Amino acid sequence: MCYRPAVYPAVPSAAPTSESIRDRLARAAFALFADQGYESTTIDDITRAAGVARRTFFRHFPSKEDVIFPDHDSVLDRVRWYLGASTKTEPVFAVAEATRLIFESFMETPERTIARYRLTREVSALRDREVASVAKYERVLSDYLRSRLPDTSEAALAAHIAAASFVAAHNQVLREWLRSGGAKDPRPALEAAVATVSDLMAPLIVRSSRQGPSSAG
C-alpha cells in the first residue's frame, strides 16, 4: 500500500454513466474552448471538467487538437467502406456520392461543425489540423479513382485533379454555409457544386480510362 487509496468516484453524483468518457471529454473540451479559448484551455482543465484523470484524455485522443474532430476517423472509415463497395458504379458518380457522404457527416452535428469553424478561424494550429484531415478525404478519393483507372501517369493525374476538385467544391459549399451562420439548407448548393465538378471531370476520367495507346494520334 504505497499510495494513498483516495480513489473517489470520478463524478460523484452528476453526469450519468450513459455518456461515454470519450463523449464527456469532447463535450467538455468544446465548452471550454468556446468559453475561454483553445490555447488558454489546458488538458487539466478539460479532464477536470469531464471528471477523469489527465492520462485518460490521451487514451481517447492522441493530441489536444484531435478532440476537435472526434468522429473524423469514423467518417473516413465510412467513406472508405462505401467506396470499397463501389466497384461497379461509374467512378465519378461514386466519388460524387462519397463527397455527399462527407458533407452529411458534417451536417449530422451542425453545432459542432459551427464551433469547430469558429475555432479553426482563430487558432492556426487547428486550421492546419483541419486542412490535414481534409487532405485525408482527398487521399481516399484519389486512391479510389486510381484503383478504378489504368495504371498510367495520365490517369493518376486525372484522379488527383478530380479528387481535389470534389473536395474543393465540398469545402466551398461548407464554408459558405458556415459564413452565412448556418442559416438555410446547404444541400441544394452542394448538389449544384457536385454536378459542376462531375460534368467537368467526367470527360477527363473517361479519357483516362481509355486503355491502350492506339487512340493517341
Binding mask 171-190 for a copy of itself (x = CB under 8 A): xxx--x------------x-
* Binding residue (CB under 8 A) for a copy of itself from 43, 49, 161, 202: 161
Residue 79: count of CB within 10 angstroms of its CB: 22
Which three cell numbers mark 173? 459549399
Least Å distance, CB 117 to DNA, is 21
**End-to-end Cα, the chain, rounded Å:** 83
132 touches which of DNA, a copy of itself, none (CB within 5 to 8 A by kind)?
Answer: a copy of itself
Least Å distance, CB 153 to DNA, is 36
Chain residues that interact with DNA, rule: CB under 7 A: 1-3, 5-8, 10, 21, 41-44, 51-56, 58-60, 62-65
Q: In the complex, which residues of this chain contact a copy of itself (CB under 8 A)?
A: 127-129, 131-132, 135, 153, 156-158, 160-161, 163-165, 167-169, 171-173, 176, 189, 193, 196-197, 200, 204
